[in-house]
Chain A
Amino acid sequence: MVSDEATICHGTSERERRAWRAAAAVSDPEIPVLTIEDLGVLRAVRDDGGRITATITPTYSGCPAMDMIAVHVDIALRNAGFDDVSVERVLAPAWTTDFMSDAGRQKLLAYGIAPPVGQAGRGALFGTVEAIPCPRCGSEETAKISEFGSTACKALYQCQRCHEPFDYFKCH
């Protein structure tokens, strides 16, 4: 797994780290069990002479949750006592499921969403089959129903053993 420690900045001063913790607690509006820290959407929190700037990156280009996340980060920072706040969006480095924390993967599984399997950005273009374990019974006998699920970041699968349909957080 690619570490993203090189590109992430949790803060260097106590004030920055306090701001990071406030912003990091914001949850994803579409997968509320995950925080934006779990997802790797929160990239940095900087203190520029008093102004706190939080940097976030979208999971997918058209992710409609980004506007909501930006508003929630702004509110969280203000509630934590920071008055001068801005939220910036960056596209590089492009978000990948490799940014997702192990805690985030465990939370997804417990929530009934299969976490991403394997490394991002590899594999043949046509006719690929990935073994995605069922988040409920653990069976690897699962079938892809659709490459696209209820949100851009998920695919729809069904377990062939317990017959339960489930979301899979796509490796991206």
Chain B
Amino acid sequence: MSTLTLSAPSPHLHYVLSLADDQLILGQRLSAWSGRGPTLEEDMALSNIALDHIGAARNLYSHASVLHAASGGHGDGTVATVLGEDDFAYRRAGPGFFNCLLVERPNGDFAHTIVRQVLFSVFALLQWQAMKASSDEMLSAIAGKSEKEARYHVRHSGDWLIRLGDGTAESRGRTQNALLALWPYVDELFQAPSDFDRLISDGVAPDPAQLKAPWQAMVGEALKGATLPFPDVTARHSGGRAGHHTEALEPLLGELQSVHRMYPGATW
């Protein structure tokens, strides 16, 4: 099966894919901890969280599939085939993914994985809470479901952040390094590409800029518990929502899509 290129997806489809891609890419990242967790319990925790993310991605890709069909398909006049979850996950190349850069950053050490999870999960929790009021009923339903799961993700990663930051010199140092490395990817979470403007004013999508203050409060609470200051980092990276990614995404997709590309259409 050939690579899927969506030429000029509608803003609504673009938005739903960006939500789905955040979930899929982070789920794939976390699933790499399966069988390698620092303890058996943590191995299960990270695998369970990965499953939640991939489950949310599936719900969102199913919705994207309906939106894609309703918009008449490719937008270039050709008759579109009906695209399913697997087409979105397995057939797009890197520039076709709209996830934020934070979720594609490598797992690194355990502190990196935990810090990435705190930064993203707090954002996701606030996003789902706001999205429950979406005028898109399916998005509202998915948000209601995912919000409950995100609470566990925030609690789990937040408790670890506190333990690591307020732990040994080694765990504290590693956590600080992770914060410095990942902080430049935070701002992108609160930026919406211009084609989302209409969705935001129409009440389909919450305005991510509005989530920044509550995000800072919640992450601040966890950092305080961890006896760590807000990192002093001025660098900012963005581009994920437009398909411009870091070097880390392609190897992840290579692994994620390998079976589908070797055996197109295989089922089991």
Binding site for B on A (CB under 8 A): 58, 60-64, 90-96, 120-121, 125-128, 145-152, 156, 170, 172
CB distance from B144 to the nearest CB of A (A): 4
Main secondary structure of the interface of A (DSSP, over half): loop
Complex interface: stretch among B6-14, B43-51, B89-97, B232-240: B43-51
Interfacial residues, chain B to chain A (CB-CB below 8 A): 41-42, 44-45, 47-49, 51-56, 58-59, 137-138, 140-142, 144-149, 151-152, 154-156, 158-159, 162, 218, 221-222, 225
Q: Would B156 and A147 count as touching, CB distance under 8 A?
A: yes
Partner of A61, one of B145, B156, B218: B145
Bound-state CA distance A99–B218 (Å) is 30
Closest to B137 in A: A92
Q: Could you tell me the distance in whole angstroms from the C-beta of A91 to the nearest C-beta in chain B?
A: 4
Residues of B within 8 A of A148 (CB): 41, 44-45, 47-49, 152, 156
Q: Determine whether the beta carbon of B221 is less than 8 Å from that of A126.
A: yes
Write out the residue numbers on chain A whose beta carbons fall within 8 Å of the beta carbon of B147.
94
Mind listing 29 A-B residue pairs with CB under 8 Å? A58-B55, A58-B145, A60-B52, A61-B55, A61-B149, A62-B51, A90-B141, A91-B141, A92-B141, A92-B145, A94-B147, A94-B148, A95-B145, A96-B148, A125-B155, A125-B221, A126-B158, A126-B162, A126-B222, A127-B159, A127-B225, A145-B41, A147-B152, A147-B155, A148-B47, A148-B152, A149-B44, A152-B48, A156-B41
Q: Which of A62, A94, A170 contacts B53 (CB 8 A)?
A: A62
Residues of chain B within 8 A (CB-CB) of A120 are: 148
Residues of B within 8 A of A64 (CB): 51
Question: Are B159's CB and A126's CB within 8 A?
Answer: yes
Contacting residue for B144 out of A92, A126, A145, CB 8 A: A92
Contacts of B58 in A (CB 8 A): 61-62
In the complex, are the beta carbons of A61 and B44 less than 8 A apart? Answer: no
Q: Closest approach, in angstroms, between the C-beta of A106 and any C-beta of chain B?
A: 24
> Can you name the residue of chain B whose Cβ is closest to the Cβ of A126?
B158
Can you name the residue of chain B whose Cβ is closest to the Cβ of A128? B155
- For the complex, what is the distance from the CA of A151 to the CA of B52, rounded to whole Å? 11
Q: For residue B56, which residue of chain A has the nearest CB?
A: A61
Q: Please, which residues of chain A bring their CB within 8 A of the CB of B156?
A: 147-148
Highest count of chain B CB atoms <10 Å: which of A64, A90, A94, A121: A94
- Please name all residues of chain B whose beta carbon is closer than 8 Å to the beta carbon of A156 when the two chains form the complex: 41, 44
By a CB distance below 8 angstroms, the chain B residues around A94 are: 141, 144-145, 147-148
Which residues of chain A come closer than 8 Å to B48, judged between CB atoms?
148, 151-152
Chain A residues, CB < 8 A from B59: 61, 91
CA distance A148 to B149 in the complex (A): 11
Q: Which residues of A contact B218 (CB under 8 A)?
A: 125
Contacts A91-B141, A126-B155 given; indicate if A152 touches B162 (C-beta within 8 A).
no
